[in-house]
């Protein structure tokens, strides 16, 4: 990790992606917990900035203590318990989204800050997919159970006001699904999209993590140049580009590495410990 702080001595706002950055398959290394707590003791603000909704963040991920979070890839923002942003799919767009998903018998989860809902017919397939994915990580079933235990059956999905949709298996491509829904939605890869399935996330076009970061620093009165963002995935591109210092995790998408100011090792190597030290956060 080679980036250097641009504003030494100022209070800084640090935004951490979760999967592949702060946590490894849902498991947070102890070094990362200590680094977050040390940075906050030093007076900095540390927030999670994740594609996961609040309802998909178990206590094991939140345990270090944070000043807030940007969730649902920017559609939900909370600082010190105050909700700053909560954007859900409008009714018409939600209806078209569900119609397209159900027409193809897709396996999906409707994500809202307060709940995770999935059609009962797809729950068994969802469990199989998530357990297989998280079995590759150090926590084994811990990562999958943290999500699956929070998912409830959506007997009437039309009444669920959701912010984002995670699709875990579809017989048609995500691009085909989004095309059927309309231009108001966009698609981005998720962590299971490279496992031989048509998978990804459907979100409202024009919303990104960078929007969440901007809302947080406006609320806290912290300058953009005093922000640090760390991530590894496609939904981190705007955040890394926006931040005063953007850090990509080793092995990140080439597009992310190209715009980052520095690199950090992944969570298995407790890369945030070294990154925080080199940035003068701890």
What structural domains does the chain harbor? 13-86+207-278 (3.40.50.1000), 91-204 (3.30.1240)
Check residue 6 and give its pLDDT: 42
Tokens representing 56?
């998909």
Check residue 1 and give its pLDDT: 43
Tokens representing 250?
């080793």
| Residue-by-residue DSSP string for 62-130 | HTT--SEEEEGGGTEEEETTEEEEE----HHHHHHHHHHHHHTT-EEEEEETTEEEE-GGGHHHHHHHH
Q: 7-50: per-residue pLDDT in tens?
A: 345 899 999 999 999 999 889 999 999 999 999 999 999 999 99
The stretches in the chain having pLDDT less than 70 are 1-9, 139-142, 157, 191-196
User: Coil, strand, or helix at residue 201?
Assistant: strand
Q: How many other β-carbons are positioned within 10 Å of the β-carbon of residue 252?
A: 25
Residue 115's beta-bridge partner residues? 112
Q: Which conformational region is residue 6 in: left (phi greater than 0), alpha (psi within -120 to 50 degrees), or beta? A: alpha
Check residue 193 and give its pLDDT: 54
Check residue 163 and give its pLDDT: 97
Check residue 132 and give its pLDDT: 85
Check residue 192 and give its pLDDT: 65
Q: Give the list of residues 6+ apart from residue 11 with CB closer than 8 angstroms, or none.
A: 43, 44, 45, 222, 226
Check residue 143 and give its pLDDT: 72
Q: Cα separation of 202 and 112, whole Å?
A: 13
Check residue 189 and give its pLDDT: 81
Residue carrying structure tokens 């580009």: 241
């Amino acid at each position: 990790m080679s980036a250097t702080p641009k504003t030494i001595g100022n209070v800084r706002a640090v935004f951490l992606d979760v999967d592949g950055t702060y946590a490894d398959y849902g498991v947070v290394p102890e070094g990362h917990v200590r680094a977050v707590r040390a940075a906050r003791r030093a007076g900095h603000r540390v927030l999670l900035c994740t594609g996961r909704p609040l309802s998909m963040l178990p206590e094991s991920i939140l345990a270090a203590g944070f000043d807030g979070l940007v969730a649902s890839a920017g559609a939900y923002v909370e600082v010190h318990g105050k909700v700053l942003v909560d954007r859900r799919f409008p009714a018409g767009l939600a209806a078209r989204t569900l119609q397209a998903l159900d027409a193809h018998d897709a396996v999906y989860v409707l994500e809202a800050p307060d709940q995770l809902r999935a059609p009962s017919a797809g729950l068994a397939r969802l469990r199989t997919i998530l357990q297989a994915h998280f079995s590759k990580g150090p926590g084994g079933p811990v990562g999958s159970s943290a999500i699956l235990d929070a998912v409830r059956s959506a007997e009437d999905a039309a009444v669920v006001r959701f912010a984002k949709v995670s699709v875990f298996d579809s017989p048609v491509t995500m691009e085909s699904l989004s095309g059927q829904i309309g231009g108001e939605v966009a698609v981005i890869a998720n962590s299971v999209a490279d496992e031989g399935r048509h998978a990804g996330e459907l979100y409202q076009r024009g919303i990104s993590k960078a929007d969440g970061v901007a809302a947080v620093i406006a609320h806290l009165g912290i300058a953009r140049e005093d922000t640090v963002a760390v991530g590894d995935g496609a939904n981190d591109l705007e955040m890394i580009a926006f931040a005063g210092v953007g850090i990509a995790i080793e092995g990140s998408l080439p597009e992310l590495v190209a715009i980052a100011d520095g690199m950090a090792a992944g969570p298995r190597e407790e890369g945030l410990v070294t990154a925080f030290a080199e940035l003068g956060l701890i």
